[in-house]
Amino acid sequence: MRYRTLLKKIASLFLLLLLLAGCASGASPAGGVSPSPAELRGTELFAMDTYMELKGYGASDALLEAAADRIRALEDALSTTREESEISRLNRDGETNVSEETYRILTRSLELCRETGGALDITVYPVVRAWGFTTQSYRVPERGEIAALLETVDYRGIARDDSTRAVSLPESAEIDLGAVTKGYVVDVLRSLFEEAGVHDALFNLGGNVLTMGTKPDGSLWHVGIQDPQGGLLGTVEITDKALITSGGYERYFEDEDGNVYWHIMDPQTGYPADGGLLSVTVMGDEGIRCDALSTALFIMGTEGAEAFWRNHKDFDMLLVTSDGRLLLTPDAAAVFTPDEACPYETAVIEP
Amino acid sequence: MIKTRTWIIILAAAALIAAAGTFFTLRPRGEAKLVEVVQDGTVLREIDLSSVTREYSFEVVWTDGGTNVVTVRPGAICVSAADCPDKVCVHHGWLTDQSAPIVCLPHRLVIRAKGDTSLDTVSQ
C-alpha cells in the first residue's frame, strides 16, 4: 500500500513539473487545441529613395508582389528624378494631362498646402534643387539666387481642369510631391491589404508607418520613435493609425564653417526651416495628411505647430524641440512610453 | 521509511533539474542582440552583439565599387565611414537592438536587429 501511494506521489510530481515546463516553453494549455494564427509574412524593397518593409498576418506572396508593383508604378508616375514620369513631364513642359491617380494626389496635395497656409508648398522644388538635395551635390546658394527662385514658389499658381485632368504651372515653376507621396502610398497599401482580406498589417516606408488591426493575441502594434539625436525616444502602442516623422537630422550637410543645412526648406525664406524643432511625429487616420502635416508643422516651428493643432485637434503629434523638450498632445501622451534613456523634459500640450 | 523519503528527495531533485533544464533551453529569449548586415536582400553577416568583446571593423563593397565601413563593438554596431554622397548611414550612429535599421540607399545596405524585438517597427 505504502509503495503504491509513493508511486502516485512521484507520478503526480512529474506531471506537475511537466506542466510547468510546458507552460514555461510557451506551449498551448494542456488539452486545448488553439487555432494557429495566420502567419506574419512580409517583404522589403528599395523604392522612392527609401527602404520599405511591408508585413501582414496572412499576407500571400501574390498580395506582397502586387503591393511592391503598385509602389513601383507610383514611383514611375511621381518621381522627379525619372525623366519620363508624369511629374517630370509637367515640370519640363509646364503643362500636361495626368493620370487619374496622379490628378487625385495632386488635388489632395494642393488642399493640404492650403490647409497648412502654404507651410507645405509643393512648388518649393527649385529651391530644394538649388541646395543640391536632389543630386547630393550640396551647396549654399547665393542670397540673390534664392530670392530669384522664390519668385516661382507659390502653389496657388497651379491651374487644373477637373474634366480633362490638365495641369499647368506658371513660367519656371516646378513641383515635387515627395513630401506627401509616402503618406499616400501607405493609404494605398491599406486599401490593397483590406481588399485581399488582410486586416492586421504594418507598413514602414523609410519611417512613414501605418498600422492596421492588431497582432493575433489582440495586442497593439509597438512603434518606436527615433530620437533625432540618436537612440530611441520611446514607444507608442497603436492600431489603425498612420504615424509619420519628419526631421532635419537624416538628410543634411555641413559647410566648411560647420553650419548644418537640412533638406526641409521653408517656402517663405528659401532656407532650411528653423522653427526650433528637431523632429515632428504626426499620428492620424490618413497617411497623406500625416505626411504633409509632419513637414508643414516642422516648418511652422514649435509655436506654429501648437497653434495649428489647437485649431484642428483631429490628429496627434510629438514635437522634439532644439531646447531639449518633448511636447505631446494629450492623446499622444496617453499611448506613449518614454525610453529609459529619453533625455528630454516631457510636457503635455495644453488643449 | 527513511529509505523511501530519500528516494522521494532524489527523484524530486532529478525531476526539478530536468524541468529547470527544459525551462532554460526552451524559454523565450530576452533582449535580442542579433543583428544582420544585409545588402540588396542577401545576408552578408549575422552578428551577436552580446558576444562581441572588442571593437573591430570590416568593409562592405557594393557592385558599383562603393564602400561602407561597418564598426562593431560590444552591444552596438554602426557604419563608421562610407563613400556615398549623403552619408545618411554614417549620420545614423550606433544601432542598438531597439533602434531603426541603418540604411545606405545608394549601396542597398541594411543593418537591422534580427529575431524577436520588443518593437514591431521604428519611425524616424
Any idea which residue has 497617411 for its cell?
A287
Ranges of each domain in chain A = 80-176
CATH code at A80-176? 1.10.3980.10
Classify residue A332 by its DSSP letter: H
| Identity of the amino acid at A350 | E
- Across A122-160, b (16+ Cβ under 10 Å) vs e yields bbbbbbbbbbbbbeeebebbeeeebeebbebbbbeebee
Cβ pair A56, A200 in contact under 8 A: yes
pTM: 0.83
- Give me the residue from B4, B93, B98 closest to A6, CB to CB: B4
Residues of B in contact with A2 (CB under 8 A): 4
Q: How far apart are the first and last CA of chain B?
A: 69
pLDDT in tens, chain A (351 residues): 555 665 566 556 555 555 555 444 444 444 444 445 589 999 999 999 899 999 999 999 999 999 999 999 999 999 998 999 999 999 999 999 999 999 999 999 999 999 999 999 999 999 999 999 988 889 999 999 999 999 999 999 999 999 999 999 999 999 999 999 999 999 999 999 999 999 999 999 999 999 999 999 999 999 999 998 888 899 999 999 999 999 988 788 899 999 999 999 999 999 999 999 999 999 999 999 999 999 999 999 999 999 999 999 999 999 999 999 999 999 999 999 999 888 999 999 999
Contact A24 B121 (CB under 8 A): no
Query: What ipTM did this prediction achieve?
Result: 0.80
Task: For residues A200 and A213, give the distance between their C-alpha atoms in angstroms, rounded to a whole number.
Answer: 4
Torsion sign, CA atoms A295, A300, A303, A306:
negative
Contact A46 B105 (CB under 8 A): yes
Task: For residues A154 and A148, give the distance between their C-alpha atoms in angstroms, rounded to a whole number.
Answer: 13
- A-B CB pairs within 8 A amount to 116
